[in-house]
Amino acid sequence: METTLLSALVKILGSDETGIVMEITPDNKLIIQKSGSGETFEAGQDEVEVLETEENVAERVSTLLDEIKKQNALANQQPHFFSFLSEDQITDFKLLEKDAQNNIILAFENAEYFTTENVLQIIGETLNKKSASYEDNLITNIPNEIKEAWNVLSKDQKVSIITESKYFPLHTKGDIKSFWNTRPFSKAINSPEATLIKESLNTDNSDDLNENYVDAFLKSIENLK
């Protein structure tokens, strides 16, 4: 309990006040610093509700700082990379949709460029870059140890799993990993049939998977449903 509460953001039950747990006394009382001030007060553990852990608070602070940096970059009316462009090229840039302009400006925040060619390349790459779809993000984050099994599933099975995922709160990479590790095909990884598939995938002839192994593996998945 102490590890959970120390440095946690908590809400005082029965009120709208929040604060950070600064200390836990020997008699398990919480010393809380009220949000937005340096004032501290004491409360019992049963008088508070944990809102966020220290890790989440740090993540939110980091996100806020990134957002401030982003806004500062977008507020710059004359981006530095304009100095590498002709007046016509700058005019073309200003004719782009606002979202496209913002994406390009942000791309230059973390890019190195020394010539007009560099600048035009970054602009071109940013304009052609597509945001990863929900499905792409889900598949990209499949744990390495079950990717081989995913690859041997049928198209219908894959579609079914992706559709099923939309009923889960997959907000973080941890949520996604947990989702994948609890799928029937993931549990089947430890079956004898799956072991044979893994061994065949590690051979030089991995493109020529033994169909019997695949069939046996898929049947083991069905048995786990």
* 70 Cβ contact partners less than 8 Å away, ≥ 6 residues apart: 106
**What pLDDT, on a 0 to 100 scale, did the predictor assign at position 206?**
46
Question: What is the distance between the alpha carbons of residues 201 and 204, in angstroms, rounded to a whole number?
Answer: 8
pTM of the model: 0.35
**What pLDDT, on a 0 to 100 scale, did the predictor assign at position 63?**
56
Instruction: Assess if CATH 2.30.30.30 describes domain 2-53.
Output: yes
Q: CA separation (Å) from 150 to 53, 156, 158?
A: 34, 12, 8
Q: Could you tell me the strand order of the sheet in which 18-24 lies?
A: 40-44, 29-34, 18-24, 9-12, 48-52
Question: What is the distance between the alpha carbons of residues 127 and 80, in angstroms, rounded to a whole number?
Answer: 18
* Segment-wise mean pLDDT, segments of 10 residues, the chain, 225 residues: 67 85 87 81 88 58 61 64 90 85 83 91 82 76 86 86 87 85 76 58 50 56 53
* 207 Cβ contact partners less than 8 Å away, ≥ 6 residues apart: none
Residues of the chain with CATH 2.30.30.30: 2-53
**What pLDDT, on a 0 to 100 scale, did the predictor assign at position 221?**
54
What does the block give as tokens for 73?
């970059």
